[in-house]
Each structure stands twice: as structure tokens, then as C-alpha cells.
Amino acid sequence: MTIKEIQHEIVDEFSMFEDWEERFQYVIDLGKTLPLIDAQYKTDENTIKGCQSKVWLHAEEVDEKIVFTADSDAIITKGIIAILIRVFSNRTPQEILAADTAFIDEIGLKEQLSPTRANGLVSMIKQIKMYALAYDSKK
């Protein structure tokens, strides 16, 4: 599946929810089930400091694709990380660089990606793109 197709799939999943409570409950549950980042990668270097919640992001290259693992100290942030990882992890740098995050608006979580939220997600997406750029230019 392409990044676009996965994004459509996520939008479809969210369209089944009737209200914000169901949407947020789903995000919270995703947060709870996000595979834990390997403790050795929870370093200061991998920390993205939001003013409110913290995000840890680790990237490695596997078969010319970038695999991301991440974590947060806040569960809603972690749930959104799970969605972003589903979209961006295990992709080539070119795919990552070409993708956008407009689908987040469609699933009703737009405000979570607003810079004023200071939850580290905006910086996380920037960091994902930076990794893609770095791996891309290495070639």
C-alpha cells in the first residue's frame, strides 16, 4: 500500500466513529498498544521537547527504508504517534518526503497538530522529514 492508501484507510476507520469521544478513545487505545521504543533509544538526543509532553523518536535504515520507533509521556500524543508511524515508518526517504499530513484534519485531530499545543508532534513530523532528507542525501 502507498502512503496515500494507508492515509485513506485511516480516514475510513475514523469515519465510523460518531463523536469525539469515540475518536479520542480510539486514539488513546492506539497509544496504549503502541509497541514500546527500545529503552536504549530513549536518550536525550532522541528527545523532542514540547512544552507540555515529550516525544522520543528513533530512526534506522532497513533495506533502504526508514523504520521509526517512538514514544511519548502523554497517551493521546502517543496515540497520534502510532498513527504517524503507521503512515511513515518502513518507507523510502522519497516516499516520506513527498507525503503530507492533511489526513489528520479529516480524522478530526487537526488541533493536535497545531504548534500551540506544544505536545511535540509538530516537531516530530519535522524530525521525520529531516531523517528522510538525511538518508536521501546520503545516497
Binding positions for another protein, rule: CB under 8 A: 20-21, 24-25, 28, 51-54, 73-77, 112, 118-119
Q: How far is the CB of 114 from another protein (least distance, A)?
A: 12
Instruction: Name the burial class of residue 68, with classes exposed (0-12), middle (13-18) and buried (19+) by CB atoms within 10 angstroms of its CB.
Output: buried
Catalytic residue among 13, 29, 51, 134: 51
Name which of 6 and 74 has its Cβ closer to another protein.
74
- As a whole number of angstroms, the distance between CA 64 and CA 51 comes to 34
Is 114 noted as a catalytic residue in this protein?
no
- As a whole number of angstroms, the distance between CA 93 and CA 59 comes to 12
Name which of 55 and 99 has its Cβ closer to another protein.
55
Contact 85, 73 (CB under 8 A): no
Name which of 73 and 100 has its Cβ closer to another protein.
73
- As a whole number of angstroms, the distance between CA 32 and CA 116 comes to 24
The three-class DSSP label of residue 67 is: strand
Q: How far is the CB of 6 from another protein (least distance, A)?
A: 25
Catalytic residues: 51
